[in-house]
Chains A and B, each alone.
Chain A
Amino acid sequence: NAGVTQTPKFRVLKTGQSMTLLCAQDMNHEYMYWYRQDPGMGLRLIHYSVGEGTTAKGEVPDGYNVSRLKKQNFLLGLESAAPSQTSVYFCASSPRGRFGYEQYFGPGTRLTVT
Protein backbone atom coordinates (compact mmCIF):
# COMPACT_ATOMS: atom_id res chain seq x y z
CA ASN A 1 0.00 0.00 0.00
CA ALA A 2 1.26 3.45 -0.92
CA GLY A 3 -1.03 5.06 1.67
CA VAL A 4 -1.64 8.73 0.91
CA THR A 5 0.31 10.29 -1.95
CA GLN A 6 0.44 13.91 -3.07
CA THR A 7 1.40 15.45 -6.39
CA PRO A 8 3.46 17.59 -6.90
CA LYS A 9 5.98 17.73 -4.04
CA PHE A 10 7.11 21.28 -4.80
CA ARG A 11 5.72 24.10 -6.90
CA VAL A 12 6.47 27.77 -7.48
CA LEU A 13 3.67 29.93 -8.85
CA LYS A 14 3.42 33.55 -9.85
CA THR A 15 0.61 35.64 -8.38
CA GLY A 16 -2.57 35.07 -10.34
CA GLN A 17 -1.64 31.67 -11.73
CA SER A 18 -3.75 28.62 -11.07
CA MET A 19 -2.89 25.07 -10.13
CA THR A 20 -4.35 21.83 -8.84
CA LEU A 21 -2.90 19.65 -6.12
CA LEU A 22 -3.75 15.98 -6.32
CA CYS A 23 -4.20 13.65 -3.37
CA ALA A 24 -4.70 9.92 -3.76
CA GLN A 25 -5.29 7.21 -1.16
CA ASP A 26 -5.43 3.46 -1.58
CA MET A 27 -6.93 2.55 1.80
CA ASN A 28 -10.59 2.81 0.72
CA HIS A 29 -11.18 5.60 3.24
CA GLU A 30 -14.43 7.52 3.17
CA TYR A 31 -13.11 10.80 4.55
CA MET A 32 -10.44 13.01 3.01
CA TYR A 33 -9.02 16.36 4.10
CA TRP A 34 -6.83 19.22 2.93
CA TYR A 35 -4.77 21.19 5.46
CA ARG A 36 -2.24 23.96 5.24
CA GLN A 37 0.68 24.44 7.61
CA ASP A 38 2.38 27.78 8.10
CA PRO A 39 5.56 28.41 10.14
CA GLY A 40 5.02 28.21 13.88
CA MET A 41 1.46 27.02 13.51
CA GLY A 42 -0.35 23.76 13.56
CA LEU A 43 -2.33 22.50 10.63
CA ARG A 44 -5.50 24.31 9.63
CA LEU A 45 -8.31 22.58 7.76
CA ILE A 46 -9.10 24.03 4.33
CA HIS A 47 -11.79 21.69 2.96
CA TYR A 48 -12.83 18.15 3.60
CA SER A 49 -15.00 15.40 2.12
CA VAL A 50 -17.06 12.72 3.83
CA GLY A 51 -17.57 10.70 0.67
CA GLU A 52 -17.38 10.59 -3.09
CA GLY A 53 -19.13 13.60 -4.61
CA THR A 54 -19.30 15.55 -1.35
CA THR A 55 -17.19 18.45 -0.10
CA ALA A 56 -17.42 20.90 2.79
CA LYS A 57 -15.59 23.98 4.02
CA GLY A 58 -13.11 23.88 6.83
CA GLU A 59 -11.55 26.65 8.86
CA VAL A 60 -9.73 28.52 6.04
CA PRO A 61 -11.53 27.78 2.73
CA ASP A 62 -11.24 31.16 0.99
CA GLY A 63 -9.27 31.11 -2.25
CA TYR A 64 -9.48 27.32 -2.62
CA ASN A 65 -11.85 24.89 -4.31
CA VAL A 66 -11.99 21.11 -4.07
CA SER A 67 -13.51 18.16 -5.87
CA ARG A 68 -13.97 14.49 -4.97
CA LEU A 69 -15.12 12.81 -8.17
CA LYS A 70 -13.61 9.47 -7.21
CA LYS A 71 -13.44 7.98 -3.76
CA GLN A 72 -9.68 7.61 -3.85
CA ASN A 73 -8.86 11.13 -5.09
CA PHE A 74 -9.28 14.59 -3.57
CA LEU A 75 -8.21 17.61 -5.60
CA LEU A 76 -7.38 21.05 -4.22
CA GLY A 77 -7.49 23.96 -6.66
CA LEU A 78 -6.12 27.47 -6.45
CA GLU A 79 -7.82 29.56 -9.13
CA SER A 80 -5.76 32.74 -8.69
CA ALA A 81 -2.78 32.21 -6.43
CA ALA A 82 -1.79 34.87 -3.91
CA PRO A 83 1.42 35.21 -1.83
CA SER A 84 -0.68 34.51 1.29
CA GLN A 85 -1.19 30.99 -0.05
CA THR A 86 2.52 30.22 0.25
CA SER A 87 2.45 27.25 2.59
CA VAL A 88 2.91 23.52 2.94
CA TYR A 89 -0.23 21.62 2.02
CA PHE A 90 -1.08 18.25 3.51
CA CYS A 91 -3.73 15.81 2.46
CA ALA A 92 -5.11 13.20 4.84
CA SER A 93 -7.66 10.43 4.86
CA SER A 94 -9.50 8.44 7.49
CA PRO A 95 -12.16 5.77 7.81
CA ARG A 96 -15.68 6.84 8.61
CA GLY A 97 -16.67 6.53 12.22
CA ARG A 98 -19.02 8.13 14.67
CA PHE A 99 -16.36 8.73 17.31
CA GLY A 100 -13.46 9.60 15.10
CA TYR A 101 -10.45 7.73 13.83
CA GLU A 102 -6.82 8.53 13.25
CA GLN A 103 -5.96 10.34 10.06
CA TYR A 104 -3.29 9.22 7.61
CA PHE A 105 -1.24 12.02 6.11
CA GLY A 106 0.55 12.46 2.82
CA PRO A 107 4.12 13.81 2.60
CA GLY A 108 3.03 17.36 1.75
CA THR A 109 3.32 19.82 -1.12
CA ARG A 110 5.48 22.89 -0.61
CA LEU A 111 3.98 25.79 -2.56
CA THR A 112 5.59 29.17 -3.02
CA VAL A 113 3.66 32.04 -4.62
CA THR A 114 5.81 34.97 -5.75
Chain B
Amino acid sequence: SQQGEEDPQALSIQEGENATMNCSYKTSINNLQWYRQNSGRGLVHLILIRSNEREKHSGRLRVTLDTSKKSSSLLITASRAADTASYFCATVLTGGGNKLTFGTGTQLKVEL
Protein backbone atom coordinates (compact mmCIF):
# COMPACT_ATOMS: atom_id res chain seq x y z
CA SER B 1 0.00 0.00 0.00
CA GLN B 2 1.16 3.54 -0.65
CA GLN B 3 2.06 5.46 2.47
CA GLY B 4 2.18 8.81 0.74
CA GLU B 5 -0.21 10.45 -1.63
CA GLU B 6 0.86 13.44 -3.68
CA ASP B 7 -1.40 16.23 -4.78
CA PRO B 8 -1.85 17.27 -7.51
CA GLN B 9 -1.16 14.27 -9.72
CA ALA B 10 -0.15 16.60 -12.53
CA LEU B 11 0.83 20.27 -12.63
CA SER B 12 1.56 22.49 -15.61
CA ILE B 13 3.05 25.96 -15.13
CA GLN B 14 4.96 28.62 -17.04
CA GLU B 15 8.67 29.12 -16.62
CA GLY B 16 9.38 31.55 -13.80
CA GLU B 17 6.30 30.59 -11.78
CA ASN B 18 6.40 28.74 -8.49
CA ALA B 19 5.33 25.09 -8.22
CA THR B 20 3.85 23.62 -5.07
CA MET B 21 3.33 19.91 -4.49
CA ASN B 22 1.77 18.34 -1.43
CA CYS B 23 2.24 14.96 0.19
CA SER B 24 0.10 13.30 2.83
CA TYR B 25 1.01 10.18 4.75
CA LYS B 26 -0.71 7.87 7.16
CA THR B 27 1.55 6.75 10.00
CA SER B 28 4.26 8.14 12.26
CA ILE B 29 7.49 8.86 10.41
CA ASN B 30 11.17 9.20 11.17
CA ASN B 31 11.85 11.43 8.18
CA LEU B 32 10.34 12.42 4.84
CA GLN B 33 12.28 12.73 1.61
CA TRP B 34 11.58 14.22 -1.79
CA TYR B 35 12.95 12.75 -5.01
CA ARG B 36 12.89 13.84 -8.64
CA GLN B 37 12.64 11.48 -11.60
CA ASN B 38 13.27 12.65 -15.12
CA SER B 39 11.53 10.62 -17.80
CA GLY B 40 13.12 7.20 -18.19
CA ARG B 41 15.75 7.86 -15.53
CA GLY B 42 16.50 6.86 -11.95
CA LEU B 43 15.47 8.90 -8.95
CA VAL B 44 17.55 11.74 -7.61
CA HIS B 45 17.37 12.77 -3.98
CA LEU B 46 16.35 16.40 -3.43
CA ILE B 47 15.89 16.98 0.27
CA LEU B 48 15.36 15.15 3.56
CA ILE B 49 13.42 16.60 6.47
CA ARG B 50 13.38 14.90 9.85
CA SER B 51 10.29 14.54 12.00
CA ASN B 52 11.50 17.19 14.46
CA GLU B 53 12.05 19.77 11.70
CA ARG B 54 9.36 22.04 10.28
CA GLU B 55 11.04 23.64 7.29
CA LYS B 56 14.11 23.10 5.17
CA HIS B 57 15.64 24.94 2.21
CA SER B 58 17.98 23.85 -0.55
CA GLY B 59 18.59 26.32 -3.36
CA ARG B 60 15.22 26.98 -5.02
CA LEU B 61 13.56 24.23 -3.00
CA ARG B 62 11.61 24.72 0.19
CA VAL B 63 10.10 21.80 2.08
CA THR B 64 7.72 22.02 5.01
CA LEU B 65 6.57 19.27 7.32
CA ASP B 66 3.51 19.28 9.56
CA THR B 67 3.51 16.08 11.60
CA SER B 68 0.21 16.96 13.28
CA LYS B 69 -1.49 16.94 9.88
CA LYS B 70 0.77 14.21 8.49
CA SER B 71 1.58 16.33 5.47
CA SER B 72 4.50 17.91 3.65
CA SER B 73 4.85 20.35 0.80
CA LEU B 74 7.58 20.96 -1.74
CA LEU B 75 7.88 24.43 -3.23
CA ILE B 76 10.05 25.05 -6.29
CA THR B 77 10.55 28.76 -6.84
CA ALA B 78 11.22 30.41 -10.19
CA SER B 79 10.66 27.18 -12.12
CA ARG B 80 12.71 26.35 -15.20
CA ALA B 81 12.00 24.06 -18.12
CA ALA B 82 14.68 21.73 -16.72
CA ASP B 83 12.49 21.21 -13.62
CA THR B 84 10.06 19.22 -15.75
CA ALA B 85 9.98 15.81 -14.07
CA SER B 86 8.02 13.61 -11.69
CA TYR B 87 8.40 14.39 -8.01
CA PHE B 88 7.91 11.78 -5.31
CA CYS B 89 7.69 12.02 -1.57
CA ALA B 90 8.92 9.05 0.43
CA THR B 91 8.71 8.36 4.12
CA VAL B 92 10.86 6.43 6.54
CA LEU B 93 8.54 5.04 9.16
CA THR B 94 9.32 5.18 12.86
CA GLY B 95 11.18 1.99 13.65
CA GLY B 96 11.30 1.18 9.93
CA GLY B 97 15.05 1.17 9.48
CA ASN B 98 15.92 3.07 6.34
CA LYS B 99 13.18 1.62 4.15
CA LEU B 100 11.40 4.16 1.99
CA THR B 101 7.69 4.06 1.24
CA PHE B 102 6.91 6.12 -1.84
CA GLY B 103 3.90 8.13 -2.83
CA THR B 104 2.39 8.06 -6.30
CA GLY B 105 4.13 11.21 -7.52
CA THR B 106 3.34 14.57 -9.09
CA GLN B 107 4.14 15.12 -12.77
CA LEU B 108 5.39 18.67 -13.21
CA LYS B 109 5.60 20.28 -16.62
CA VAL B 110 7.26 23.67 -16.91
CA GLU B 111 6.54 25.35 -20.21
CA LEU B 112 8.60 28.05 -21.88
Chain A interface (Cβ < 8 Å from any Cβ of B): 4, 31, 33, 35, 40-45, 48, 50, 58-59, 90, 92, 94, 96-97, 99-108
B interface size (C-beta, 8 A): 27
Q: B30, B45, B90, B98 — which one has the most chain A CB atoms within 10 A of its CB?
A: B98
Q: Chain B residues near A102 (CB, 8 Å)?
A: 33, 45, 48
Chain B interface (Cβ < 8 Å from any Cβ of A): 1-2, 4, 30-31, 33, 35, 40-45, 48, 50, 88, 90, 92, 97-105
Contact among A33, A97, A106 for B42, CB-based, below 8 A: A106
Q: Chain A residues near B50 (CB, 8 Å)?
A: 99
Q: Is the CB of B41 within 8 A of A107?
A: yes
Q: Is the CB of A45 within 8 A of B43?
A: no
In the assembly, what is the distance between CA of A101 and CA of B100, in Å?
Answer: 10
In the assembly, what is the distance between CA of A99 and CA of B35, in Å?
Answer: 18
Chain A binding surface, main DSSP class? loop
Q: Is the CB of B98 within 8 A of A42?
A: no
Q: Is the CB of A33 within 8 A of B102?
A: no
Q: Which residue of A lies closest to B1 (CB)?
A: A59
Assess A107 versus B100: contact at CB under 8 Å? Given A100-B30, A102-B48: no
In the assembly, what is the distance between CA of A94 and CA of B9, in Å?
Answer: 28
Q: Identify 12 residue pairs between A and B in the complex whose beta-carbon atoms are under 8 Å apart, listed by A's number.
A: A33-B100, A40-B104, A42-B104, A42-B105, A58-B99, A59-B101, A94-B98, A100-B30, A101-B98, A104-B45, A105-B35, A105-B44
In the assembly, what is the distance between CA of A103 and CA of B102, in Å?
Answer: 12
